[in-house]
Structure 1
Amino acid sequence: MGKSKTNKFRRPQFNAEGLSVTAVKEMEPDHGEVFDGVDSPTGELLEKLQSPSADVREFACASISRVVQQSQTIPGFLQRDAVRRLGPLMLDRSLAVRETATGALRNLSACGGHEVCDDMVKQDVMTPLTALLRECCAGFETNAALSLKGQKNTVEDVANEAVNLLWNLCESSSQALSVFNKAGILDVILQCLERHTHNIKLALSAAHCLHTVTEDNAELLCSMNNAVLGTLESVLLSSQADMSHTLLRTLAAGSVWNLKSSLPTAHQAQTLTALMATLSQCLELDAGTLIPQLRQVEVARSATASEAGNMEDHQAAAGNMPVEEMEDDEEEGVGLRKNGKATKIDKDFSDLLPRGKEELREATALLTAQQTSLEIIVNMCCSDDPSDDEWEEASSSDESEMCPDGLSEGNTSLLSPLCLSAEVHAALINHNIPEKVLKKTQFPSSEAMDVCRHNPTWKILIKKMHRVQYRALTCLHNMLSTMDAESLGGAAALQAVAQHLSTLVFSPPEIPKEEEFLEAVTSAMRSLLQIIAYMKIPQCMTPQQMMSLSEAATCCDVVSVRVNALAILGITGSTLAKENGTAETLQMIGNALLQVATKDANLVVCGEALDALFDVFADGDEAERAAENINLLSALKALQPVFKAKIRKEGKGKYSPEQLCVLDNVKVNLRRFIGYLETVVKK
């Protein structure tokens, strides 16, 4: 109803390796001790946090870090005041304890969700965290010198855990974000970001955090200065070609876009060019080719390492490996099994990707970078004006909040001014962004999918590959909603896009049922069909295909998918109504829309179905004939009082003011449309 919605993304929460929190459940289980939520020795572990032995405190923190990854254990820890007990250990005299304590809190925040993060902030976790971050940054140079002598740079490891904890808290808690702004933590994050030439892992964590805290944060804009923007620009202009640095530059580009209102006027054009070049270069990469290549490298490296391990086994069996060497290795995470075989022990309890998985990290970084690039472009092409179709929100409202009377505006958004500035519009075109986005809307390559299916640790990439496709489809939707047809290649290009979208939907054995896919592809189809109808371009999708898509979509639980499908039927039907010999097809569409308007439990969906009916049967001989054949007038007369009663009874407390406003317009238009049909019958 009204103009098509443009989606805006808020980033999901990721850990330092680019894995979303939900990916914890998709990882291979650890082969060590497993605690279940009922019998886990929660109290015992918390008591050990007070031990005078640093080794015992470290063990307790590390154990808690693992246990809280099972979300059912978290309430037990919170009830026993775990946050207040772990907080002081972030400033423990032992760096190892600092790292594991911060890692435990990081996992607690990541696996506990918004409510746990809010509770952690209320328990003043930000005070020791802020102090820890400042101490870490003060020790970077000293520890960098120590690392050159072969010592582990533990201060940066601690800083990495702290930044990840800060990132999680600021993502989930507005109070944490307020503390971030007031405590001046921005300079600390920038210092971590500046370590990118020495420690890419820490820099990535800082970049993720910065990307999060700069989003919709007007208070932080006051802290912006040339030093901040200079640091971000230096990252954008870095030239390392690995996927981790590609992700780093992408996140920096997202932060620059978030801070665009603070850019000095003289540097805006240059910065926008660097930003767009970063996104363009990221989208040029072909994950379908790179992922199989990375997997081949991993296999080859594993084979080499296995051969080296066999040689060490022979040496150890012959008594040729000095005990001292084994002990030194143990400091680096190498231990002894009872049979004397050396094996890697994962001592980094808060990392969700196993060590020794460099190629998997690279593949994950690539997909995260491409998803992030697409989300940035989505936001670039997103109107800040509220849309009539922002149905998802639900809040209480007084029914008296009305909109001006008037018939539905239909496709008038096509005539509205472009939402993009001329500079952004030109930059998107100059870097061929629409073409690159369209390419990313394809299904993931079968070769890359096979690689991931046949290796347990790589299976986590399957969802990420699909998510890149979904983001690309949403990006396509927003570009179609905000860019003129000529910029997108004109009529021929739009027809090709329509053919491509129909292939995505109708080429598989059946229409895909994945909700995220359906939401993205129906949004893109809706925007495209609006343009095609306005430009009077022939459609490439048949009414039968549209009906099958509608049937699949109306079974979806996501309201926006059902709304999109109904809008698609309305656009298709209103186009067919202007052609001869289409009455039978219009009847089919009309019956489908009446079915939804009468039976769907959601008033928003019912309203969209009615709005589509108004469009389809507004004018024309074919529409009049079809309306008569399906008894549209009597059906709408019967529906009218029911619809009005539902708005009155269900409106308050269930739908937002914007939704009620549009529903009221539909109610008014329904009365007027019934009047129109009555005049048609009297002819």
Structure 2
Amino acid sequence: MIMGKSRARRFKPVAFTPTAAVKPAAGPGDSESTESLHAEELLHKLQSPSAEVREFACASISKLVQQKQVIPAFLQRDAIRCLGPLLLDKSMSVRETAAGALRNLSTCGGFEVCDDMVTRDIMTPLVALLRECSVRLDSEPESNSKDATKNQVEDIANQTVNILWNVCESNSKALNIFNKENCVEIVIQCLRKFPSDLELAVSAAYCLQTVTEDNPELMASIDASALQTLETVLMTSATTMEMRLLQTLVAGTVWNLKDRIPPFSQADTINAVLRILSEVLSQDAGQFIIKMKETESSRLRTAAIESEEDEAALNEEDGMVEGNVKEQNGDNFSDLNPVSNEELRQASFLLVAQKSALEMIVNMCCSDEPSDDDWEELSSSDESESCLEKSLADGGQLMSPLCLSSEVHSALLNHFIPKKVLEKTRFPDAAALQICRHYSAWKALITKMSTVQHRALTCLHNILSMVDIESLGGASALQELAQHLSELIFIQTDGPKQEDFLEAASSAVRALLQTMAFRGIPQCMTSEQVMSFAEACVQSSNASTRVNAVSIIGVTGSVLAKGDNTTETLERIGNFLLGIATNDLSLVVAGGALDAIFDVFADGDEAEKAAVEIKLLQALKKIQPAFKSKIRKEGREKYSTDQLCVLDNVRTNLRRFISYLESVEKKYKNRI
């Protein structure tokens, strides 16, 4: 995964750093023509000679573009070229609001808008503004009025760094300009402000984590002073969850820069990084949310008593004050919106830090296999020569072996990372969920808690694939894990069963069953449970989830094929996989289903009997020409080189497997 370059990133972190924007009160019934007229009017006001009018227009745009349906109206009227020059406006307030508008536009608009921003040369004024901020950031204030200006400079720097983070994550040209202009030096300068301005430091840390991932051109710009700054942040005592988040992000940057660390210090550096992640994951988010809510209630009651507003304090506990918060911030507070509630901020910082920590562990335990649809494995037999030639001709390489350095492996275990990841796979704390559901301002934490669980399940998949099983506790630990996953999937009904959960859970189940099958450890899930789960997964619109489903069925079937009296179950499995291979619109999923068929029916009397009963040979002969045709027509247009390698191998194996089934058919006819 190449942050800043790749569009197939598995995770997209979102900073919890607020802008000055608040969601507009515009209703869903606003017409397209009204949006267009409003956009045109505001963009016209950007040219006003009055700084106050320009500032008002920027602030209004900043609010509006948080509604995705409004963004095209602004882009069609060249909003980026209109806002860009205002980054260098003579009024500092206009600069700040223009930067806020561009930040929200880049965040809410996604890759396409970031590309458009770079095409329209946003980097020129952006880099110039960053340099101006750099000059002023470390200047000594001479008076209280200067203090105010200095704070505004830090606010502008915060918005600017966020825009840089967004565009560099999305666009390779922006990243190249970032490298060429040595912007990293200024972002490190922003990070150094962490003792006095944590918000700016967190934004800088997000940006650094993004631009340092797989960016060898930047490595030369990282000097001893920069490394010392990163180390200082890691070693500082964390007294708030915002500081914990900062340290987590800096740990991610240090991991990206580990090749710049002297060899004799690498083991200590890896241990320091894993220590930070371990400390973040050790926190019980549910209990922390409950504690923060109690603290908030106590604070509000005390404040109300002191100001003789007892009734307001009591009403807050009934949700009335919460209703006021909802009115201000919308139904669910956005990461773009200011949150004045300090306890809520701290709870959110913890959840974002845990999500980021888990994403880092996923990347640590990840080889260079293709990430698209998580279809990282080769099919049953060796690569075909045409696939190998194609990959080499395209300048690519075949999938790397799954391996971890001894330092990383030891650090993961010494800091009990697998155990802590497993703990995070559990559904969110029921009491914490009840609090978040009851108080509208806290509702957005529900999504964040679920995201932590999903990341943990994905992380579990990678740990099972990469870490020595004996060091995790051996066969008994795997069977306990299987029981835990069964409870997550089949027993508990409170938890979310949305797309993200299915993808993450199916990924973990897949890795577990593959590992147990390879080790010959008895499966704990019944074939009925596995089929039920797979049938739910193949209804998903997410191709990765469907690939996981057919792989799970394939592993289960291949184990059953070695047993006795399993013909009936194998028939059901065969029909299930044939249905996917025939009807799924994704060639990757269809290819995965065919590969699973090869694994299930390749050997054994039970498998042979089932294959004859369901007329597997005849079904595959019908599938073969359509599958070949789809590869030829859709392959290069829709799929990566690595995926085409696997599909080409499946096509080759399909031909061989049909020949094998013909011999099976002859054998059974001779018996008759």
Instruction: Work out whether the TM-score is over 0.5.
Output: yes
- Which stretches in structure 1 are left out of the alignment for 5+ residues? 1-6, 314-343, 393-399, 406-415
Which position in structure 2 is the counterpart of 1:319? none
Deviations 1:442-489 (A, max 9, x none): 111111111111122211111111111111011110111111211221
CA pair 653-55 structure 1, distance change in 2 beyond 3 A: closer
- Whole-Å Cα distance in 2 between the matches of residues 309 and 32 of structure 1? 36
- Whole-Å Cα distance in 2 between the matches of residues 196 and 676 of structure 1? 66
Which position in structure 2 is the counterpart of 1:48? 45
Counting only pairs closer than 5 Å after superposition, residues 20-35 of structure 1 correspond to structure 2 as 30=25
- Whichever residue aligns with residue 465 of structure 2, its letter is S
Corresponding residue to 1:585 among 562, 566, 569: 569
- Whole-Å Cα distance in 1 between the matches of residues 446 and 18 of structure 2? 14
Q: Report if the CA contact (8 A) 1:18-1:364 is conserved.
A: no
Which position in structure 1 is the counterpart of 2:443? 459
Identify which of structures 1 and 2 has the higher relative contact order when contacts are C-alpha pairs closer than 8 Å and 6+ apart: 1
Which position in structure 2 is the counterpart of 1:331? none
Q: Report if the CA contact (8 A) 1:13-1:171 is conserved.
A: no
CA pair 207-541 structure 1, distance change in 2 beyond 3 A: same
Which position in structure 1 is the counterpart of 2:590? 606
- Whichever residue aligns with residue 12 of structure 2, its letter is P
Residue aligned with 1:579, SS: coil
Corresponding residue to 1:86 among 78, 83, 87: 83
2:476 is the alignment partner of 1:492: yes
Q: Report if the CA contact (8 A) 1:8-1:382 is conserved.
A: no
With 252-261 and 663-672 compared, the bigger mean Cα shift is at: 663-672
Which position in structure 1 is the counterpart of 2:431? 447
Deviations 1:238-273 (A, max 9, x none): 102211000000000011111122222222122111
- Whichever residue aligns with residue 38 of structure 1, its letter is S
With 474-483 and 121-130 compared, the bigger mean Cα shift is at: 121-130
Counting only pairs closer than 5 Å after superposition, residues 123-134 of structure 1 correspond to structure 2 as 123-134=120-131
CA pair 243-9 structure 1, distance change in 2 beyond 3 A: farther
CA pair 363-580 structure 1, distance change in 2 beyond 3 A: same
Displacement, 1:386? 4.5
Q: Report if the CA contact (8 A) 1:9-1:379 is conserved.
A: no
- Whichever residue aligns with residue 235 of structure 1, its letter is V
Displacement, 1:173? 2.2
- Whole-Å Cα distance in 2 between the matches of residues 33 and 544 of structure 1? 45
Deviations 1:88-134 (A, max 9, x none): 33233332222112112212222222222222223332222222222
CA pair 122-430 structure 1, distance change in 2 beyond 3 A: same
CA pair 618-509 structure 1, distance change in 2 beyond 3 A: same
Corresponding residue to 1:222 among 185, 199, 220: 220
Corresponding residue to 1:197 among 192, 195, 198: 195
- Whole-Å Cα distance in 2 between the matches of residues 447 and 436 of structure 1? 21
- Whichever residue aligns with residue 158 of structure 1, its letter is I
Residue aligned with 2:168, SS: helix
CA pair 628-301 structure 1, distance change in 2 beyond 3 A: same
- Whole-Å Cα distance in 1 between the matches of residues 431 and 256 of structure 2? 36
Which position in structure 2 is the counterpart of 1:112? 109
Which position in structure 1 is the counterpart of 2:379? none
Q: Which has the higher helix share?
A: 2
- Whole-Å Cα distance in 1 between the matches of residues 588 and 26 of structure 2? 49
- Whole-Å Cα distance in 1 between the matches of residues 632 and 146 of structure 2? 75
Displacement, 1:527? 1.2
- Whole-Å Cα distance in 2 between the matches of residues 187 and 525 of structure 1? 44
Q: Report if the CA contact (8 A) 1:129-1:162 is conserved.
A: yes
- Whole-Å Cα distance in 2 between the matches of residues 282 and 147 of structure 1? 38
2:359 is the alignment partner of 1:364: no
With 368-377 and 120-129 compared, the bigger mean Cα shift is at: 120-129
Which position in structure 1 is the counterpart of 2:65? 68
- Whole-Å Cα distance in 1 between the matches of residues 525 and 200 of structure 2? 49
CA pair 515-118 structure 1, distance change in 2 beyond 3 A: same
Corresponding residue to 1:654 among 634, 638, 651: 638
- Whichever residue aligns with residue 656 of structure 1, its letter is S
- Whole-Å Cα distance in 1 between the matches of residues 502 and 653 of structure 2? 29
Which position in structure 2 is the counterpart of 1:320? none
2:358 is the alignment partner of 1:374: yes
With 349-358 and 193-202 compared, the bigger mean Cα shift is at: 349-358
Displacement, 1:192? 0.7
Which position in structure 1 is the counterpart of 2:12? 12
Residue aligned with 1:38, SS: helix
2:510 is the alignment partner of 1:549: no
Residue aligned with 1:139, SS: helix
Q: How many residues of Structure 1 are paired with residues of Structure 2 in the alignment?
A: 624
Q: Report if the CA contact (8 A) 1:36-1:73 is conserved.
A: no
Displacement, 1:417? 6.1
With 297-306 and 202-211 compared, the bigger mean Cα shift is at: 297-306
- Whole-Å Cα distance in 1 between the matches of residues 210 and 280 of structure 2? 20
- Whole-Å Cα distance in 1 between the matches of residues 328 and 625 of structure 2? 70
- Whole-Å Cα distance in 2 between the matches of residues 37 and 303 of structure 1? 46
Which position in structure 2 is the counterpart of 1:163? 161
- Whole-Å Cα distance in 2 between the matches of residues 578 and 15 of structure 1? 50
